[in-house]
Chain A
Amino acid sequence: MATKAARASRRSQPVGRRHPLATVALLLVGLLGTGGAYALFTSSATAETSASAEALVEEGGKLFAANCATCHGLDLEGTTQAPTLIGVGAAATDFQVGTGRMPLAISGPQAEQKPVQFTEEQIQALAVYVASQGPGPAIPADMYLTGEGYDVSNGAELFRINCAMCHNVAGAGGALTEGKFAPALADVTAKHAYEAMLTGPQNMPVFNDTNLTPEEKADIITYLKYLDETPSVGGFTLGSLGPVSEGLFIWIFGLGAIVAITVWLTAKSN
């Protein structure tokens, strides 16, 4: 019996992986492992960013309520004065506020550029806030904005086909209907040029990433940078406005100078 009992007790007290506490230990290890890994990966740093993102959104929300909500509505829903901003994304906000077009100085045919009203941080806060209210195009990655390492001749061709209709081949700007206009592109930053293509501010069409891929947009930016940085080979450009400024120049200064010379030549003998 004793041996039987001993055998039974030995049987009832198994060791190793058959130990009754093995399941508990396994659970403990599993819980500790996942919990520890979770704790490890969601460390205090993440907690901090989420806190600062929240702070940014909060700051952006305050700025928005103070500066934008009058026209765009407290919940970005838009009013009769201005469109809704739900879904316009960070890129549109960064462009409009970053170029000084928003807040609008005056209602008119279109929002015009004016000195930028906010700091970089405030613009970022607004962009993050607007993006947090509905998904939309994000601020472009820096890799597309260098204006280097991309195909300038492809950019020039794309520019002539897609942009020159309104902005003029030399980027000197042009007229649209009802007092609206396409602005001159000299000295527009790469980021704003990219955002404009991506979001189509005001009368500009949207050139999304299937229409012009990010690389093609970068090509165009490279060409714009080339235009900005390369001095005109032929001399003063007279505003790059083409035959109109050339014609005015020859009549006023060319023929003007020559008439002055004829007057001088004939005045001497009198």
Chain B
Amino acid sequence: MTTTPAQDVQPKTRGQRFTGAAANYIDERTSISGLVKEVGRKIFPDHWSFMLGEVALYSFIVILLSGTFLTFFFEASMVEVHYEGSYAPLKGIEMSAAMASTLDISFDIRGGLLMRQIHHWAALLFVASIGLHMLRVYFTGAFRKPREINWFIGFVLFVLAMAEGFTGYSLPDDLLSGNGLRIIDGMVKGIPVIGTWISYLLFGGEFPGVDIVSRLYILHIMLLPAIIIAAIGIHMLLLVINKHTQFAGPGRTNDNVVGSPVMPGFAAKAGGFFFIIFGVITLIASTFSINPVWVYGPYDPSPVSAGTQPDWYIGFADGALRLVPPGWETEWFGFTWSFNIIAPLVILGLFIAIVAFYPFIEAWVTGDKREHHIADRPRNAPTRTAIGAAGVTFYAVLWAAASSDLIATHFKLSIEGVIHSCQALLIFGPIIAYFLTKRVCIGLQKKDREIALHGYESGRIVRLPHGEYIEVHEQLDDYELWKLVSYDDYKPLMVRPDAQGRITVGQKFRASVSRWFFEDRIAPVSQKEIEQSKDEHH
């Protein structure tokens, strides 16, 4: 707020005096001013992709609010009851109290169905926005020092969100959720040695037992949300401590953040954004049906519906199971080894571990100990972008494989054809995506370099007095030029003898990985080159 000396001499109004006194009262008892000063002056750069994490946060709040409503009416018990509610095709059918109360929420409690649908759609949006947020952070290199730990916490949040989603999906005890649990049970039992024990421990005996719903309920409404809230707290604290990254631009350096502060503008904007998210979710929930448990009916271990799938974020695991070729079960030493389960578990475990530890892996490869606060343009880190594209392809193929039956029916293909194509794509897709992306990135870098040095083609043809035709190349202004030339350049690490004069195997390995990363690279345009090209053109 700008104040003029004239206003200073004016006596304060009653409102101002009250605000001052109240602020003072609170500050003297909590010392909160330091925190407000720190958080209130946190700067948010203006770029749409920086708001994706906010979307996740706000949809989580919507989940908390709608979920609290649902806990008032949901009965987490597998006691057998006969349904006597409003839905005619289930009248008199035996089901668990969990299923019956879910039906009551849907048909007999005012606003219950809307709340259920808000809760479920918000959950889908929550995980989807986390996914997109992670992709943004990855492809702009925003996970580099000092943000590696925050990447890891964000990854943990992603896993927890999936766990929340899956436990929630299992609670209504309808046919779909029971089928989902059966698959989990099968996967757990496929783990050598401990699998059967864990399954019996989890379900309190033979599947499905009578305990699983109440156990998952405790996880779903207490333990997992508590961990998520704590992790979000740390995630946001680190966000304030590390400050935001920003894209390169005029006045934006590695040492500052250009944008709007939390107080007052951004906070108001963010509050409005929360209600926009809430509104979009409510609009979807009031218009589109989600998980109509009454159609699925109560869980019964015998029926499995066609088109039984998990919610989208578990789809990649379902797809992995579908893509295992037949006949991978074998018997060794009198024990059954279910490699059709073990292989997907190991492969998915590796994939997830690479995602979790990627920042540390890249830091080790580059040997870069500097702090990075300028977000990379994806093209300026071709190998990282290519690895990301390969990972996205891998995930996408698994994800698509989870809907192999629907792809077959809707595109009039045979399901075997779909499965075999996915199997081939799972292996070759990432490789193709890697090379294609890397070449595209390097091509774009070359184009940037060309534009930086020689300007862009203006399309204006000029005939010189002596008859020669030339096309006029327009030079970029300094602001645009800055965006094209300011990025970090890495060279492959050289193998050097250490203090004892030895070259270790580890060093050699690191050098070879580094060479793989940075062998093909386009160096940023240097000041000297720009001056040289200016001289040529003038």
Q: Is A244 an interface residue (CB 8 A)?
A: yes
Chain B 310-330 residues near chain A, CB threshold 8 A: 310-313, 315
Residues of A within 8 A of B414 (CB): 109, 177-179
Interface residues of A in 196-242 (CB under 8 A from B): 223, 226, 232-238, 240-242
Q: How far is the CA of A270 from the CA of B176 in the complex (A)?
A: 47
Main secondary structure of the interface of A (DSSP, over half): helix
B106 to A243, Cβ gap below 8 A? no
Contact A247 B312, beta carbon cutoff 8 Å = yes
CA–CA, A153 and B91, complex, Å: 6
Are A262 and B306 in contact, CB atoms less than 8 angstroms apart? no
- Write the nearest CB–CB distance from B246 to chain A, whole angstroms: 12
Q: Are B277 and A174 in contact (CB under 8 A)?
A: no
Known: A152-B88, A235-B288, A240-B295. A250 touches B121 (CB 8 A): yes
Q: For the complex, is B462 an interface residue (Cβ under 8 Å from A)? A: no
A164 B305 Cβ-Cβ under 8 A:
yes
- Contact status B311-A246, CB under 8 Å: yes
Q: Are B289 and A255 in contact (CB under 8 A)?
A: no
B129: contacting residue among A167, A237, A258, CB under 8 A: A258
Q: A161-B300, A238-B288 are in contact. Are A244 and B307 (CB under 8 A)?
A: yes
B117: A residues at CB distance < 8 A: 234-235
**Range for the number of chain A residues in contact with chain B:** 35 or more
Judge whether A246 and B291 touch: CB under 8 Å. Answer: yes
Write out the residue numbers on chain B whose beta carbons fall within 8 Å of the beta carbon of A161: 300, 302-303
Whether B307 contacts A241 by the Cβ 8 Å rule is yes
Q: Is B408 within 8 A of A179, CB to CB? A: yes
Chain A residue nearest to B90 (CB atoms) is: A153
Contacts of A181 in B (CB 8 A): 408-409
Indicate if the CB atoms of B307 and A262 lie closer than 8 Å: no
CB contacts under 8 Å to B, within A255-270, are 255, 257-259, 261-263, 265-267, 269-270
- B92 located at the interface, meaning its Cβ lies under 8 Å from any Cβ of chain A in the complex: yes
Closest 8 CB pairs of A and B: A174-B306, A247-B312, A234-B289, A179-B414, A175-B405, A156-B89, A262-B48, A250-B124
* Other 16 A-B pairs with CB < 8 A, given A161-B303, A254-B128, A267-B48: A153-B90, A153-B93, A174-B306, A178-B415, A234-B117, A234-B288, A235-B289, A237-B292, A240-B292, A240-B295, A242-B305, A242-B308, A250-B312, A258-B129, A259-B132, A266-B47
Interface residues of A (CB under 8 A from B): 109, 152-153, 155-157, 160-161, 164-170, 172-179, 181-182, 223, 226, 232-238, 240-244, 246-251, 253-255, 257-259, 261-263, 265-267, 269-270
